[in-house]
Structure 1
Amino acid sequence: MKLPTTARLSLTSAGPAPTAAEECGPLGVMASTDAATKAGISPADIRKCREHPLSLVSPRDAADATGATVFARDCWWGDSYGCADGYCWEKCNPEKGHWCWTAWGNGFGDWRKCEGKGECEPVKNSACGQGNCEKCGCGC
């Protein structure tokens, strides 16, 4: 029996799936935490990668990006929330200009993605990034 070309290609390109460490790389792997469990988050709903993808943007790269102030983690004195390069953020300590990237699952789940500010309005089940991440929580 002769397999069609598409079937042969799919069989030859199928290989072992990358591990979480390989997939996340320098973002690190998010571990299931007691805090997530106490918050009622299922281990299946905890994000795979610990740090926010935009935490790898260097200040030099950020200078050329839209919303560079946000990327560089400078303090923010403008709007209460917004969308920057496809991800939601919100103020978390406005008196000090602190802000954070937001994630589903009360901060332990996938990072909130957006195409515009309207998709980032604070809602139930969304919060500042939580867990063992260093650059995702409230600060500047």
Structure 2
Amino acid sequence: MKFIAATLFLAAQITGGFAAAVSSAAAECGSLGVLDINDLPAGVDLSALRKCAGHPLGHTRDLKKTTYNPLTPEEIERAQSAKLDARSVIPVLSGRAANACWFGASSGCTDGYCWKTCGNNGEWCWTAANGGSGNWLQCNSANQCGSGEACGKGCKKSKACGCSC
């Protein structure tokens, strides 16, 4: 009987500790939300997960604070044949923050974070370590960012880190 009581007490302590950890992460992350560990790709290192789901910059890049790698011939052709619409031309012409589709370089660095293109229709994403579930990749210039990096994962409730425009 003492064993059962001790086991129940220990289980209650562990459950309470887990709930406190989740509550603490929710308070720390705020509007970024807590990383959804139910939607992680296979093979991720569980000890290297980030706490917060969303990206600190949301899904907005300030084009005035962005550096790019040199364009490849394929990227130049894609950019020249892109059909600009209101979502893409206004931010480009005004120079203000843009989350519109991107038809330029395949990767870059904005406000200290790496991003890459990830689709054929101008989609882009912030990149993260650990298969997209780790810390957001940081940079000082575009040459520290690559198009082979993983798009951010675990934030399916928002477009803040996934492949989208």
Question: TM-score scaled to structure 2, two decimals?
Answer: 0.60
Give the alignment's Cα RMSD to 1 decimal: 2.7
Matched, 1:25 2:30: yes
Give structure 1 regions of 4+ aligned residues with deviation exceeding 4 angstroms: 67-71
Structure 1 gap segments, 5+ residues each: 1-16
Identity %: 44
Q: Is the Cα contact below 8 Å between 2:35 and 2:51 reproduced in 1?
A: yes
**Could you tell me how far 1:71 is from its partner in structure 2?**
4.9
- Equivalent-residue separation in structure 2 for 1:108 and 1:34 (angstroms): 10
Provide the secondary structure at the position in 2 that maps to 1:33. Answer: helix
Q: Is the Cα contact below 8 Å between 1:103 and 1:129 reproduced in 2?
A: yes
- Equivalent-residue separation in structure 2 for 1:48 and 1:139 (angstroms): 22
Specify whether residues 113 and 71 from structure 1 end up closer, same or farther in structure 2 by C-alpha distance, changes over 3 A only: farther
Structure 2 gap segments, 5+ residues each: 1-20, 67-90
1:73-125: CA deviation from partner (whole Å, max 9, x where unpaired) = 111111110000010000101x31111100001111111010100110245xx
Provide the secondary structure at the position in 1 that maps to 2:128. Answer: strand
Bigger Cα Rg: 2
Provide the secondary structure at the position in 2 that maps to 1:24. Answer: helix
Tell me which residue corresponds to 1:114.
139
- Equivalent-residue separation in structure 1 for 2:113 and 2:130 (angstroms): 15
Tell me which residue corresponds to 2:152.
129
Question: TM-score scaled to structure 1, two decimals?
Answer: 0.70
Provide the secondary structure at the position in 2 that maps to 1:47. Answer: coil
Aligned residue pairs total 115
Q: Is the Cα contact below 8 Å between 1:55 and 1:71 reproduced in 2?
A: no
- Equivalent-residue separation in structure 1 for 2:39 and 2:29 (angstroms): 22
Provide the secondary structure at the position in 1 that maps to 2:37. Answer: coil
